[in-house]
Amino acid sequence: MIRLNLLPFRAARKKENVRRQVSVIILSLVFAIIVMGYLFVTLSSKITDLNTKIKETKTEVEKYKKINKKIASIKKKLNILKKKQQVIDRLELDRKEPVRLLDAMTKLIVARRMYFKSFSSKGNIVKVSGIALDNQTVADFMSRLQKSKLFRSVKLGPIKDKKVKKANLKTFQITCVKRPPKKPAKLKVKK
């Protein structure tokens, strides 16, 4: 019988399989290291890009904060100017009010039949006291006051008889409430 020894062939095959497995493991480790290196490089470049963008954004935010502070100070100044303008407008209306009131009263008086003894205005209340020839004159004056657009409430106080020389005259007191004056139209500014 012939015997063949196949052991060295099997041993050589085992060595070849071991070498192949070791080389696969080494190549896969090298490949994994290369992939991890690539990922490290790309992620570190993204991180540096993001850090530069963050720095740029922070500088822009600081720039805009300064601009916002300027805008806020300008808004405060504008509010102050608006308040001053409102005060000026109110003073302008109040400056013209006594002249307007006296002019209106001289137009509403019943000529040659009455005259004023006193005339006062506090806030919206106007008090008039005077002397008239008769009750009809006082009634005519009151109806003129009510028809005018300056007063919204006209109330008659006491009417008393007064003798001056040979004439019987009537003293009267009237209280009126003024309507608020019309505000002047504001100019529109184009933006």
- Tens-place pLDDT, residues 124-178: 899 999 999 999 999 999 999 999 888 888 999 999 998 888 888 999 999 999 8
Pairing of strands 125-132, 160-164: unpaired
> Can you read off the two tokens belonging to residue 102?
């006296």
DSSP 48-61: HHHHHHHHHHHHHH
Please say whether the structural domain 112-178 has been given the CATH code 3.30.1360.
yes
Listed as own residue / partner, the contacts of 20-24 with beta carbons closer than 8 Å and 24 or more positions apart are none
- Tens-place pLDDT, residues 74-90: 999 999 999 999 999 88
Q: Could you tell me the pTM of the whole model?
A: 0.52
Q: Which residue type occupies 91? A: L
Burial (CB count <10 Å: 0-12, 13-18, 19+), residue 126: buried
Question: What does the alpha-carbon distance between residue 127 and residue 150 come to, in Å, rounded to a whole number?
Answer: 14
**Cα–Cα separations (whole angstroms), residue 132 to 51, 88, 124, 164:** 93, 40, 25, 12
Helices and strands, counts by H and E, the chain: 2, 5
Question: What does the alpha-carbon distance between residue 89 and residue 185 come to, in Å, rounded to a whole number?
Answer: 11
What are the residue ranges spanned by the domains of the chain? 10-108, 112-178
- The rounded mean pLDDT for the chain is 88
